Structure 1
Amino acid sequence: MSTEVSSQPLLSVRGLSKAFGGVLAVQGVDFDLAAGEMLALIGPNGAGKSTTFNLINGQLRADAGSVRLQGQELCGLAPRHIWRLGVGRTFQIAETFGSLTVAENVQMALLSRDRRLWSPWRRATHYQRAEALALLQRVGLADQAERPCAALAYGDVKRVELAMAVAHNPCLLLMDEPTAGTAPGERHALMALTRGLAREAGMGVLFTEHSMDVVFGYADRVLVLARGQTVADGAPESVRADARVQALYLGRQAAEPLKAEDAA
């Protein structure tokens, strides 16, 4: 697996903190993400993964800290503004329009990118059609363009969502449990595709994931959280061997090795 990425951080997170009442969900989290790099954010339930993810995306407002994308502060901005700055997003449960065709789903994303309003009484069938088909070609779905999204296998729905997420050429892609609900072959195909897109476009990818085979197979780096704090941050093999990860994340004895096929 190639791991050649830019040495300059695309995303820089410093001192990120968030409390809910008296519960400190995220406590002073620091990390960088380079262009073209794939960073997995993992940890046990309640570790602060989702909170960290949503602080970066603007769905939650941080109590303290900084999130900078190419030097620009994101904290305090609404999700739509963060999206405009070049941050794409996919969701644990794929967010597509089942009654629309595959191509029309991507065209909806292009309408949003171009800030176009469209009458509900008009079909957008011809809007940026060539670009929509080119995006579908990149994710291997050009031959499915005219099928309703609801008729696709779930792994293909995830590919449609990926095409929608990269429709505005983001520099950073946030993926929340990208392989949830997919079969083993589908999840490996999806992550290989994502890695190819990241390398091709120099796009940083931050993803949360429970499947350890995906984490160790596709992440350039792994960031482990526990109780809102960073436990480990490094290359997959060093994280796999880290005694703190063994004890805190998996609840194992430090001497018991973490296997790539293990799932949280």
Structure 2
Amino acid sequence: MTEILRVENLRKSYSGFLAVGGVSFSVAKGELKALIGPNGAGKSTCFNMLMGQLKPTAGKVFLDGEDITGRKPRDIWRKGVGRTFQITGTYQSMTVVENVQMALMSHHRRIFSLGPRAWKIYRDEAMSLLETVAMKNQADRPCSILAYGDLKRLELAIALCHKPRLLLMDEPTAGMAPSARIELMQLTADIVRDQGVSVLFTEHDMDVVFAHSHHIMVLNRGELIADGNAAQVRNDPRVQEVYLGGGTLFKENSHA
């Protein structure tokens, strides 16, 4: 499969403390790949280096063969990398569709168009994105009254506004009810399948991870200790030791 992201020996240290140590991996075009690990494993640090929020101490990050190591987040975003966060950041005073329109105006460099007629700009495109995430029927509702799961769907629509090649999702189902978690990740899997977007996501819900991931990576203390399919990761002795002190990690009749 075509490689969209390649990470080579990525490292981040703080005054002698090694947060991420020599991590190397790749994400293929149209792949839904999970990055899991216990708290403090280095997942968020790794994400922040991929997106430019942190400058690596060493190593390289390549997007579709181009070196993007250490570039500014906006430059990386312009090159086709989107991101969603654990905590949603929508404009609560605006409607659902207006939030998406704002993101589209930013993508098309038309923020200067804000004014009395701004509500008309890119509305059709915004509605199409909302349909993709099953939020079209809530387009004109203010964000302030949305359920948390719907805010997560809206955030996904916003992340899709600039047609990313790679989407980084940091704990996308955090704080959601179990049924809403399943719906959101199935929606993400559908987008990966239908649009060819690559997704790298972190997650603590193992049912979500094993139900939807094509491949799974496991970080522990900044070290990548496993990278494989569900069965390989489930049966890896080091992964079992990290999660359950050597016991069986997941039942064979799980969603994987």
Tell whether the structures are fold-level matches, with TM greater than 0.5.
yes
Instruction: Look up the equivalent residue of 1:244 and give its one-letter code.
Output: R
After superposition, what is the alpha-carbon deviation per residue over 1:56-75, rounded to whole angstroms, capped at 9, x for unaligned? 01000001111100011111
Match of 1:88 in 2: 82
1:41 to 32, 35, 53: 35
1:252 aligns with 245
Alpha-carbon separation, structure 1, partners of 2:72 and 2:252: 37
Report the Cα distance in structure 2 between the residues aligned to 1:261 and 1:45, rounded to whole angstroms.
26
SS of aligned partner of 2:18: strand
Q: Which amino acid aligns with 1:113?
A: H
Within 2, Cα distance between the matches of 1:107 and 1:260? Answer: 45
Please state how far the C-alpha of 1:132 moved relative to its aligned partner: 0.5
Q: How far apart in 2 are the matches of 1:20 and 1:123?
A: 49
Of the three residues 232, 243, 255, the one matched with 2:226 is: 232
Alignment match, 2:23: 29
Q: Would the aligned equivalents of 1:104 and 1:124 in 2 still touch at CA under 8 Å?
A: no
* DSSP 3-state at the match of 2:112: coil
Q: Give me the whole-angstrom Cα distance separating, in 1, the residues matched to 2:109 and 2:253.
A: 43
Structure 2 segments unaligned to the other structure (5+ residues): none
**Among residues 12, 18, 26, which one is paired with 1:18 in the alignment?**
12
Cα-to-partner distance string for 1:116-137 (whole Å, 9 max, x where unaligned): 1236653521011110001111
> What is the deviation of 1:38?
0.7
Letter in 1 for 2:135: L
Residues 1:260 and 1:181: Cα distance change in structure 2 (over 3 Å): farther
| Identity among equivalent pairs (%) | 53
In 2, the alpha carbon distance for the partners of 1:132 and 1:62 equals 35
Structure 1 ranges of 4+ moved more than 6 A: none
Q: CA RMSD in A?
A: 1.6
The yes-or-no answer on 1:50 pairing with 2:51 is no
Report the alpha carbon displacement of residue 227 of structure 1 after superposing the two structures with TM.
1.0
Q: Residues 130-169 of structure 1 correspond to what in structure 2 (within 5 A)? A: 130-169=124-163
Distance 1:261 1:172 in 2: 31
SS across alignment from 2:189: helix
Partner amino acid, structure 1, of 2:245: R
Query: Aligned match of 1:192 in 186, 191, 213?
Result: 186
- Report the equivalent of 2:202: 208
Q: Number of aligned residue pairs: give it.
A: 254
> C-alpha displacement at 1:261, in angstroms?
10
Which of 74, 82, 103 is 2:97 aligned to?
103
Deviations 1:205-264 (A, max 9, x none): 00000000011011111100111111100001210111100102x1422x43424899xx
What is the CA–CA distance in structure 1 between the aligned matches of 2:196 and 2:90, rounded to whole Å? 25
Deviation at 1:138, TM superposition (A): 0.8
Deviations 1:148-169 (A, max 9, x none): 0111111111110000000110
Contact 2:49 2:70 in 1 (8 A): no
2:157 & 2:252 partners in 1: Cα distance? Answer: 28
Q: Note if contact 1:51-1:60 (Cα within 8 Å) is conserved in structure 2.
A: yes
**One-letter code of the match for 2:57?**
D
Q: Judging changes above 3 Å, is the alpha-carbon distance between structure 1 residues 257 and 176 closer, same or farther for their aligned structure 2 residues?
A: closer
TM-score of the aligned structures, taking structure 1 as reference length: 0.93
